[in-house]
């Protein structure tokens, strides 16, 4: 058998994902010869990435010693949204040791936002979350050149185009850094610790302020030639539809997204079409997706209709993508996943009706398990992968 | 640098694709140490896959001996269409040494069709094209489980579902065999010897009797979890459109394909809308895509309109796929590629207008270079890859 990844990477990932393991079991699991394994383990102990962890239970012969990912390791995981900063500092097992979340407008530009990220990380150090970082992973809400570590023509991120995010974070924290699109890190997170655990080929569809799709194929994220693969929010679904922030008309996210739903809910409330929404609008200046979700839960017909229409739009695009990509799972995440089973039922109905029967014979369409934590989880996975790769 | 492919595979592929190379150059190009390279070459000479080919020109020091893919190697490449069998017997450089093409109805079933394939290959042996085959590659017009070497629920291939095509061909010819979807082998062929040469991420769109898409990502064909990735012909583009052979309404290929174009041309001729088509229909029972192409070349407005409408339909689907997959090239092949630049111009126009600007900034949309030979070329590449892999 021929493995694409170097032995040290496979050892580190296994210890990260499964905890303390004996040398004997490591050798068996990774199909490494004993001398090769012992040499690699010794080297990784030497560079401080793994540590001894006592004796394993006996397997009959001589007892084997356990090794684990070094308990001192720390990674910073950052998920920048259109209007939020989420940070987790995690240990080598990717368990959070500190969590920060605050509102922030991505349009404030990279200097302001990254300074705030660094302040929060400095606070984490003072709070005792880490002494030094071994890797930083960050997701941003726009296309990214993964190779160059910079955002590329991100529509909702003025001032960020080709800004050297990776270089500045790596320099600031003296460790490897990695930058990716926010939906890609959510997909990676969901595969690491969520509903897509160990699924190789799946689509992660984020429906939030905008709409995007993380494409996980053959066990890895597919980013496309310009880093904008999965940018499905601007697929035109209705040539006569409303104008979109991108300048075109009838884009998917102009018809259904957090902003579109708020707009449609407001119109319905004002037109007297929805008692539930009218009641919520009294005393508020605007409506949100949460209002629509609550209205639907109370049985308000207009709220249910708005969600179903949205689900139908998303389902139509996903049916096309299922025929094209033949994935083994679709995960729905992002803020509008809170619309829950009404949304899911409509998406499923359209996908199952309009895609190839062969492609949908066994195709789960499910909600994200990690919810708001999918992004930071994926950023932590990327940060650790990057740090492990550089330990060769 | 860490290579995913074993050294013997890389040596064999380089010699297949580039001809005789000196041992010294092989070592340099493949970044193999001299002892490792010499051992691999000796082993491959021993098993009859490569042969000595004289002395190289001096590079200053001792002259290095050339090696080449063994001149005795022969692969059979088979491209089954809905109504045709194409066969090439090729040497180790994938140059054709015998070519057969004849009409055949895939609906005759696997026994009849594969018997005919074997008869044609027996004829090739009698004609002196080979003594024994080292690999057989075959493409079929439907979804394939690549791992199992069988067609899976192929809509236009009654009797072929899970028929053991690979096993029977391998047993018949005493060599490795490989089965893939016809559009996938066209994509592989176009990448090996056509316009997509060495392009890693591209879509090959076949517009013929039906419509399909070969998806080449990260240097390899992406087949999907059930082998039906790229089956874009049954994407619904118009809920009110004509019924499709699949039972749904408004599928892409019900609106534009060889069959759809013949139907629309006939209707236009009978309705007196097209002098060029009416003239061609006089004395014929039906019209074909070729008639429409000729009419368009003469400036017949209806013929041009039919092609542009078709291009608009295909372009709309491709715009969605470009936003999703962010490829670096789109290649248009199949029988309707003969519609040429009117078709291409319309597809381009829609794709460039409706996809993300970032994804189309540098996105060539081009015609297949290999035309009818794309399929057999790809089948030969697959057959040789398979034979080389089994030589480990």
pLDDT of B187-212, one tens digit each? 999 999 999 998 999 999 999 888 99
pLDDT band at residue A1 using 50, 70 and 90 as cut-offs: very low
Enumerate the domain spans of chain A. Answer: 7-69, 74-191+373-389, 197-368
Closest residue on chain A to B356 (Cα): A234
* Rounded-to-10 torsion of CA B168, B171, B175, B178: 20
The answer to whether residue A315 neighbours chain B at the CB level (below 8 Å) is no
Asked whether the beta carbons of residue B232 and residue A152 sit closer than 8 angstroms, the reply is no
Question: B202 pairs with which residues across the strands?
Answer: B216, B329
| Structural tokens at position A212 | 């995007």
| pLDDT of residue A81 exceeding 70 | yes
Over residues A272-302, the pLDDT tens digits come to 999 999 999 998 889 999 999 999 999 999 9
Q: Which CATH class is domain B197-368?
A: alpha beta
pLDDT computed for residue B61 by the predictor: 65
Structural contact between residues B303 and B296, judged by C-beta atoms closer than 8 angstroms: yes
pLDDT band at residue B359 using 50, 70 and 90 as cut-offs: confident
Over residues A242-260, the pLDDT tens digits come to 998 888 889 999 999 998 9
| pLDDT of residue A226 exceeding 70 | yes
Phi/psi of residue B366, nearest 5 degrees: -130, 160
The answer to whether residue A245 neighbours chain B at the CB level (below 8 Å) is no
Q: How far is B5 from chain A (nearest CA, A)?
A: 8
Cβ-in-10-Å burial (0-12, 13-18, 19+) of B58 comes to exposed
CA distance B250 to B228: 20
pLDDT computed for residue A59 by the predictor: 63
Q: Which residue has the tokens 């569809």?
A: A205
| pLDDT of residue B6 exceeding 70 | yes
The answer to whether residue B56 neighbours chain A at the CB level (below 8 Å) is no
Query: How large is the average pLDDT for residues B365-383?
Result: 96
The answer to whether residue B317 neighbours chain A at the CB level (below 8 Å) is yes
Report the alpha-carbon angle B99-B103-B104, nearest 5.
Answer: 115
| pLDDT of residue A124 exceeding 90 | yes
Asked whether the beta carbons of residue A223 and residue B326 sit closer than 8 angstroms, the reply is yes
pLDDT computed for residue A61 by the predictor: 65
Largest CA distance in chain B: 78
Q: How far is A125 from chain B (nearest CA, A)?
A: 36
CA distance A343 to A355: 18
| Structural tokens at position A185 | 């890190």
Closest residue on chain A to B353 (Cα): A248
Asked whether the beta carbons of residue A229 and residue B324 sit closer than 8 angstroms, the reply is yes
Q: Do domains B74-191+373-389 and B197-368 have the same CATH topology?
A: yes
- Smallest Cβ–Cβ distance between A323 and the set B225, B232, B325 belongs to B232
Q: How far is A126 from chain B (nearest CA, A)?
A: 39
Closest residue on chain A to B322 (Cα): A229
- Smallest Cβ–Cβ distance between B225 and the set A248, A320, A326 belongs to A326
The answer as to CATH 3.40.140.10 being correct for domain B74-191+373-389 is: no
Asked whether the beta carbons of residue B217 and residue A222 sit closer than 8 angstroms, the reply is yes
Q: A7-69: which CATH number, 3.40.47.10, 1.10.10.10, 3.10.129.10, 2.60.120.260?
A: 1.10.10.10
pLDDT computed for residue B59 by the predictor: 63
Structural contact between residues A289 and A280, judged by C-beta atoms closer than 8 angstroms: no
The answer to whether residue A222 neighbours chain B at the CB level (below 8 Å) is yes
Over residues B136-186, the pLDDT tens digits come to 999 999 999 999 999 998 888 999 999 999 999 999 999 999 999 999 999
Query: How large is the average pLDDT for residues B95-110?
Result: 96
The answer to whether residue A321 neighbours chain B at the CB level (below 8 Å) is yes
Interface probe, candidates A246, A323, A328, chain B, greatest B C-beta count within 10 A? A323
Closest residue on chain A to B329 (Cα): A225
Interface predicted TM-score (ipTM) over 0.85:
yes
Whole-number average pLDDT of chain B = 92
Over residues B57-71, the pLDDT tens digits come to 766 666 778 999 999
pLDDT computed for residue B3 by the predictor: 45
Q: What percent of chain A has pLDDT over 70?
A: 97
The answer to whether residue A177 neighbours chain B at the CB level (below 8 Å) is no
Query: How large is the average pLDDT for residues A88-95?
Result: 97
pLDDT band at residue B221 using 50, 70 and 90 as cut-offs: very high
Report the alpha-carbon angle A129-A133-A135, nearest 5.
Answer: 130
pLDDT computed for residue B335 by the predictor: 86
Q: Please, which residues 277-306 of chain A have a Cβ atom closer than 8 Å to chain B? A: none
Give the length of chain A: 392
Count the neighbouring beta carbons within 10 Å of the beta carbon of residue A238. 14
């Amino acid at each position: 058998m021929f493995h694409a990844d170097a032995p040290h990477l496979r050892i580190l990932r296994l210890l990260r994902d499964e905890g303390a393991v004996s040398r004997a079991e490591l050798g068996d699991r990774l199909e490494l010869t004993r001398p090769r394994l012992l040499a690699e383990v010794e080297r990784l102990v030497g560079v401080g990435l793994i540590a001894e962890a006592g004796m394993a239970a006996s397997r009959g012969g001589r007892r084997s010693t356990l090794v684990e990912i070094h308990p001192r390791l720390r990674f910073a995981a950052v998920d920048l949204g259109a209007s939020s900063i989420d940070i987790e500092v995690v240990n080598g097992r990717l368990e959070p040791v500190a969590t920060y979340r605050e509102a922030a407008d991505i349009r404030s530009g990279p200097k302001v936002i990254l300074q705030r990220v660094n302040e929060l990380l400095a606070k984490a150090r003072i709070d005792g979350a880490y002494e030094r970082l071994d890797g930083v992973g960050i997701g941003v809400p726009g296309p990214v050149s993964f190779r160059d570590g910079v955002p590329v023509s991100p529509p909702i991120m003025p001032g960020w185009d080709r800004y050297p995010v990776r270089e500045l974070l790596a320099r600031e924290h003296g460790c490897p850094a990695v930058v990716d699109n926010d939906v890609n890190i959510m997909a990676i997170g969901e595969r690491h610790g969520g509903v897509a655990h160990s699924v190789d080929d799946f689509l992660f569809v984020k429906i939030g302020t905008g709409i995007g799709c993380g494409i996980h194929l053959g066990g890895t994220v597919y980013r496309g030639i310009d880093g904008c693969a999965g940018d499905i929010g601007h697929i035109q679904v209705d040539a006569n539809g409303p104008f979109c922030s991108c300048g075109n008309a009838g884009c998917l996210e102009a018809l259904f997204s957090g902003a579109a739903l708020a707009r449609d809910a407001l119109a319905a409330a004002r037109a007297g079409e929805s008692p539930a929404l009218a009641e919520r609008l009294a005393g508020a200046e605007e409506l949100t997706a949460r209002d629509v979700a609550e209205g639907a839960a109370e049985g308000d017909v207009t709220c249910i209709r708005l969600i179903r229409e949205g689900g139908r739009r998303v389902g139509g695009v996903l049916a096309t993508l299922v025929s094209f990509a033949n994935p083994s799972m679709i995960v729905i995440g992002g803020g509008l996943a809170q619309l829950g089973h009404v949304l899911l039922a409509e998406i499923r109905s359209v996908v199952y009706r309009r895609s190839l029967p062969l492609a949908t014979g066994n195709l789960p369409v499910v909600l994200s398990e990690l919810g708001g934590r999918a992004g930071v989880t994926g950023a932590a996975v990327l940060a650790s992968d990057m740090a492990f790769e550089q330990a060769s």
